[in-house]
């Protein structure tokens, strides 16, 4: 039984044990050492650390909605459940899709923890080119983005092979 569980979910558990603590620890550090909206330049014209709270979803979507926390939390829980259900059902050749799902789940979990604790997601990485800023993000967002990129690679590879 334990060997079967490890075979099906071992990589997922490893990703959770790496991404979620790293995500929560970096957010803790930002909250301890920055005032809200405070920014520090790391690489002039390209990279800052900034403490912001995103009460919505990606790019602040739903930020002003009264039901944003329960709605976005429910979406995260559904995504987590779907990934847990899907992983053991994937074909061995779907390595990119598996990796993508394995990265998305701890990212969703890290942001869900913030949403439930603070009512908002803590973001702190500010990538920009001079005055043109990308929305601030965090370690969990990075895992989700890398996971989605892996899923796109899987989609492109599966289209070429068919």
Q: Is the dihedral of CA 61, 149, 125, 32 positive or negative?
A: positive
Backbone angles phi, psi at 47, to 5 degrees: -150, 125
**Distance (Å, rounded) from C-alpha 131 to C-alpha 128?**
7
Annotation marks residue 141 as catalytic: yes
Which residue is catalytic, options 114, 126, 141, 154?
A: 141
The sheet carrying 121-129 orders its strands as 39-43, 47-54, 121-129, 132-133
Annotation marks residue 123 as catalytic: yes
Query: Do residues 151 and 101 lie in contact, with contact meaning Cβ atoms separated by under 8 Å?
Result: yes
Please name the residues in contact with 141: beta carbons below 8 A apart, sequence gap of 6 or more: 107, 111, 123
DSSP designation for 63: T
Which residue is catalytic, options 114, 123, 126, 154?
A: 123
Catalytic site positions: 123, 141
């Amino acid at each position: 039984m334990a060997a079967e569980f490890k075979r099906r979910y071992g990589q997922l558990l490893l990703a959770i044990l790496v991404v979620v603590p790293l995500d929560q620890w970096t957010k803790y550090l930002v909250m301890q050492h920055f005032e809200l909206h405070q920014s520090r330049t790391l690489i002039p014209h390209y990279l800052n650390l900034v403490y912001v709270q995103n009460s919505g979803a990606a790019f602040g979507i739903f930020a002003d909605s009264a039901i944003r926390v329960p709605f976005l939390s429910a979406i995260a829980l559904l995504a987590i459940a779907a990934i847990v259900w899907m992983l053991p059902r994937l074909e061995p050749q779907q390595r990119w899709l598996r990796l993508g799902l394995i990265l998305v789940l701890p990212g969703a979990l890290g942001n869900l923890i913030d949403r439930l604790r603070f009512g908002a997601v803590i973001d702190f990485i500010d990538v920009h080119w001079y005055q043109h800023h990308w929305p601030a993000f965090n370690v969990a967002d990075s895992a989700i983005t890398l996971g989605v990129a892996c899923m796109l690679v899987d989609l492109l590879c599966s289209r070429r092979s068919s």
